Amino acid sequence: MGPAARYAAIAAALAAAAALALLLPAQRQAQHAGTPNGYQGFIPNGVISYDGHQDPAGTLMLDNGTAIRDAIWDGQYAGTIIQNHNQMVQLNSQWVGRTDPVNHQPYVPLQDLYVIKGQVPIQQATINGQTYYVIEADKINPANIAGFYTYDKWIPNFIAAMNMPGTYAAGLPGNSPVFTWTNTTGTLVYQTQLYGQYGPFPGRYVLVLPNKTIIPYGVNNDVAGAALSNFYTPNQTYNPSS
């Protein structure tokens, strides 16, 4: 092979490598987001093709309120998150707009989220020219990951409440007067119980903030890390008169 042919072969190889690089995520140095004692939340809103497979895409909300958009959950529970998020979307399409038979208010859209206790390992990846933030889920202790759901507009409040000193979780008895409240809170306690009949989504739980505000929520039994068991099996019962 003459010099011209060798140069042509090298140029072709470099061009092929450059073309391949455009199709693969460009990795950067891994980082950690959030604080060691905080609760971070991943809120899925779709699916993306990453590193040869489908992963959940969405927003990572940190314990200080920072929202990292264009986040990708890669690793353990990725398929479960996709499946359960799709089921939540389906339940919303079936029930939102119908009327709660107890408080006579319309059902509202519910959103699933996946809470990580402690710091979250992430790294940047460039896919088709856009920067994404990849959560390296396989590096997280599964005991520190748990799934929840609540009213979609209250997700930031839910994460903030989990990180607020003095907040505690409680269950509601079936005859709780909260069911009759003619507001979104009253609707949610019944709606989370309703969704629990159609999937691994038991509800009728509340976060009780120090100012006595409550945020109703449900849990995801498919992603139930032991380190968050106080939110899954609260040992208190909420009484609105207390």
Domain-located, residue 9: no
Q: What's the confidence (pLDDT) of residue 38? A: 97
Domain-located, residue 61: yes
| Burial label, 214 (beta-carbon count in 10 A; 0-12, 13-18, 19+) | buried
Domain-located, residue 146: yes
Reduced to 3 states (helix: H, G, I; strand: E, B; else coil), residue 29 is: coil
Do the Cβ atoms of 118 and 83 come closer than 8 Å?
no
* Cα–Cα distance for residue pair 63/159, rounded to 1 Å: 7
Nearest partner of 55 among 134, 145, 130, judged by Cα: 134
Q: How many domains does the chain have?
A: 1
Per the structure, the complete domain to which residue 220 belongs is given by 26-232
Q: What's the confidence (pLDDT) of residue 72? A: 98
Domain-located, residue 164: yes
Domain-located, residue 6: no
Domain-located, residue 14: no
Domain-located, residue 160: yes
* Cα–Cα distance for residue pair 235/88, rounded to 1 Å: 27
Q: What's the confidence (pLDDT) of residue 10? A: 37
Reduced to 3 states (helix: H, G, I; strand: E, B; else coil), residue 119 is: coil
* Cα–Cα distance for residue pair 215/209, rounded to 1 Å: 8
pLDDT tens per residue across all 242 residues of the chain: 554 444 444 344 334 333 333 333 444 556 999 999 999 999 999 999 999 999 999 999 999 999 999 999 999 999 999 999 999 999 999 999 999 999 999 999 999 999 999 999 999 999 999 999 999 999 999 999 999 999 999 999 999 999 999 999 999 999 999 999 999 999 999 999 999 999 999 999 999 999 999 999 999 999 999 999 999 999 999 989 74
Domain-located, residue 10: no
Structure tokens at 220: 């995801």
